[in-house]
Amino acid sequence: MPNSEANLEQLEVDFQARIDAEERIEPKDWMPEKYRKTVLRQMSQHAHSEVIGMQPEGNWITRAPSLHRKIVLLAKVQDEAGHGLYLYSAAETLGATREELVQLMHEGKAKYSSIFNYPTLTWADIGAIGWLVDGAAIVNQVALQRTSYGPYSRSMIRICKEESFHQRQGYEIMLKLANGSPEQKAMAQDALNRFWEPSLMMFGPTDADSPNSAQSMKWKIKRKSNDELRQAFVDQTIKQIEVLGLEMPSKDIKWNEERGHYDFGELNWDEFFAVIKGNGPCNRQRLAHHKKAHDEGAWVREAARAYEAKKKARAEKAA
Ligand code: 3HC
């Protein structure tokens, strides 16, 4: 029976009361259509980010400087594929298929994280990605472990455990390089300088320019604002830069006694918006690569579906 307007209003009030009481929303629960769409958008973009994020690092698997480094990097990149799979599965509970979600990304209608549109030029970039990019992802994802949508929250708990290993492997690469030869130290510094601002942009536009934040915070999809998370990341990372003995990547980084936080200056938001509109250094390359791999994998999906159908038919016949 269709909901009357009064009924709908009551449903929305009850829904907000559940959120306020810290209950998790589960796939079969009633939810406002806008809530469903917002969680689906965020989760699918997150899933796309995990999968596209395999490209800049995958680029270095064959060039890792030792067998040990190669094994560690392979494991990390495979973890990212796994994260994408949990997240696509969690997103499917909201009524969209993985195929549809991927299609939206291919058409440029769904985004993935801006950070993966930057190239990995040296081995030190692999250290910087693990340390800064996975480090930023953890700060965001620890907050998302308490997101209001149950399947998203549970997938974050599992993913965060693996991200911690990723962050440490990146930092360890940076430690080795920063304490190595002058050339290695310079390489680490260059990677830090190039990945610093793009990592801070991972948290999204400033709160004042974030159209989705107010409603997402009210529905507890987001637990902390973009600026709060960015500041937490800056504060923890500055100390790590000091331990590495590298120079600060920006002259604007200064301790602010009054705020009790580090200032880090204004970021280049024109660059951020250009990147998320598809005009970053590697956007075209990343999407083209994903489309190609997706097309080449069509026969695998077809075979898996045929196998499933056959198994189901056999089970029905036997029943
Ligand atoms: N890259 C690309 N797009 C971004 C972005 C970024 N860094 N930050 C914001 N945007 C987009 C938003 O998606 C939104 O566009 P849309 O309406 O077309 O979807 C627009 O910019 C406005 O931003 P808002 O702040 O209003 O958007 P949100 O409320 O969704 O907040 C977010 C943005 C903080 C990134 C939030 O979506 C989020 O927390 N997402 C989950 C975390 C995530 O996606 N992480 C990916 C990082 S990489 C990763 O985890 C892989 C790991 O292995 C390193």
Residues sharing a CB contact under 8 Å with residue 280, sequence separation 6 or more, in sequence order? 114, 117, 118, 274
Ligand 1 pocket test, candidate residues 34, 149, 210, 267, most atoms within 8 A of CB: 210
- Distances, alpha carbon 235 to alpha carbons 136, 140, 222, 255, in Å: 11, 14, 20, 9
Which DSSP symbol is given to 244? H
Residues 6 or more apart whose CB falls under 8 angstroms from that of 60 comprise 73, 120, 123, 125, 126
Instruction: Give the integer Cα–Cα distance in Å for 257 and 276.
Output: 34
Residue 254: enclosing H or E segment and its boundaries? strand 254-256
- Report the atom number in ligand 1 closest to the C-alpha of 129: 54
Cα 57 → chain centroid:
15
| pLDDT at residue 94 in the model | 98
Consecutive H or E run containing 255: strand 254-256
**Which one of 44, 45, 126, 206 would you pick to mutate in the ligand 1 pocket, going by the greatest count of ligand atoms within 8 A of its CB?**
45
CB 98 within 8 A of CB 51: no
pLDDT in tens, 74-103: 999 999 999 999 999 999 999 999 999 999
Phi-psi region of 254 (alpha: psi -120 to 50; beta: other; left: phi over 0): beta
Whole-angstrom Cα distance, residue 100 to residue 110?
Answer: 11
276, 277, 283: residue to mutate for ligand 1 pocket, most atoms within 8 A of CB: 276
Nearest CA to ligand 1 atom 8: 204
Q: Which atom of ligand 1 is nearest to the CA of 212?
A: 26
Ligand 1 centroid distance, CA of 276 (Å): 10
Residue nearest to atom 7 of ligand 1 (CA): 202
CA 42 – ligand 1 centroid, Å: 7
| Three-state secondary structure call for residue 51 | helix
Ligand 1 atom nearest to 226, measured from its CA? 34
Dump pLDDT digits (tens) for 285-304.
999 999 999 999 999 999 99
For the CA of 42, the closest atom of ligand 1 is 37
Nearest Cα residue to atom 23 of ligand 1? 210
Which residues form ligand 1's pocket by a CB distance below 6 Å? 41-42, 45-46, 49-50, 53, 80, 111, 113-114, 133-134, 137, 140, 201-205, 210-213, 216, 222, 226, 276
**Nearest alpha carbon, ligand 1 atom 13:** 111
Dihedral in degrees, nearest 10, Cα atoms 186, 192, 198, 199: 160
Q: 300 alpha carbon to ligand 1 midpoint, in Å? A: 30
Distance 49 CA to ligand 1 centre (A): 9
Residue pair 105/290 in contact (Cβ under 8 Å)? The answer is yes
* Nearest-atom index, ligand 1, CA of 45: 44
Q: Using CA atoms, how far apart are residues 218 and 130, in angstroms rounded to an integer?
A: 32
Give the chain's residues under pLDDT 70: 1-3
Instruction: Give the model's pLDDT for residue 269.
Output: 98
**Which residue, 132, 190, 149, 161, is CA-closest to 28?**
149
238: CA distance to ligand 1 center in Å? 23
Q: In DSSP terms, which residues pair with 40 in a beta bridge?
A: none
